[in-house]
């Protein structure tokens, strides 16, 4: 827009200032996203300190590679469920192997503990560590003959989701 000339000079009015609303919204969304990602990364990296009275789970968590997924856990399971253990004693060790889920703050922990018996095999899954994005679980199989354990196998797996 041009003003009327006075004294031989013309002056233009400055362009109207653009609204700062959109850049502010983008900045707030960016900072909020960074904060959420930072908290989530911190939570997944540290996980929750499991509360358990089970020596089996404590041994699984004390191994040097305790944060690795898809690791063999047979050696730890054999220490607690040796070959020759009666069926009832083995099931007692498994039933005592529980972790108290942490109190939720921005996520709800899902307890995943199960035991299934199928013929001469007992399969089990126990959550040993909870994080915001999934659980670390020990999955194993006991093979029984004549009411005693004859073989033990297991691994630690991670389930995300």
Give the number of other Cβ atoms within 10 Å of residue 91's Cβ.
Answer: 17
Which residues are bridge partners to 154 per DSSP? 140
Report residue 57 as tokens: 């789970």
pLDDT greater than 70 at residue 139 = yes
Confidence (pTM): 0.64
Could you read off the pLDDT of 4-13 as tens digits, one per residue?
A: 555 555 556 6
120 domain-assigned: yes
SS3 per-residue string spanning 86-121: EHHHHHHHHHHCCCECCCCCCCCCCCCCEEEEECCE
* CATH for 120: 3.30.160
Give dist(CA 62, CA 43) in Å, integer. Answer: 20
Domain that holds residue 139: 50-160
Is residue 139 included in any domain, yes or no? yes
Tell me, yes or no, whether 94 lies in a domain.
Answer: yes
Q: How many domains is the chain built from?
A: 1
């Amino acid at each position: 827009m041009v003003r009327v000339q006075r004294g031989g000079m013309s002056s233009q009015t400055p362009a109207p200032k653009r609204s700062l609303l959109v850049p502010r919204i983008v900045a707030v969304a960016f900072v909020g996203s960074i904060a959420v990602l930072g908290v989530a990364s911190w939570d997944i990296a540290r996980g929750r300190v499991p509360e358990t009275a089970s020596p089996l789970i404590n041994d699984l968590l004390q191994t040097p590679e305790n944060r690795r997924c898809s690791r063999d856990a047979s050696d730890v399971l054999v220490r607690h469920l040796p070959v020759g253990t009666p069926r009832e004693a083995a099931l007692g060790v498994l039933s005592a192997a529980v972790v108290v889920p942490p109190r939720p703050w921005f996520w709800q922990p899902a307890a995943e503990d199960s035991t299934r018996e199928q013929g001469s095999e007992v399969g089990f899954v126990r959550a040993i560590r909870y994080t915001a994005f999934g659980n670390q679980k020990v999955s194993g199989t006991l093979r029984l003959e004549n009411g005693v354990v004859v073989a033990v196998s297991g691994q630690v797996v991670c389930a995300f989701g």
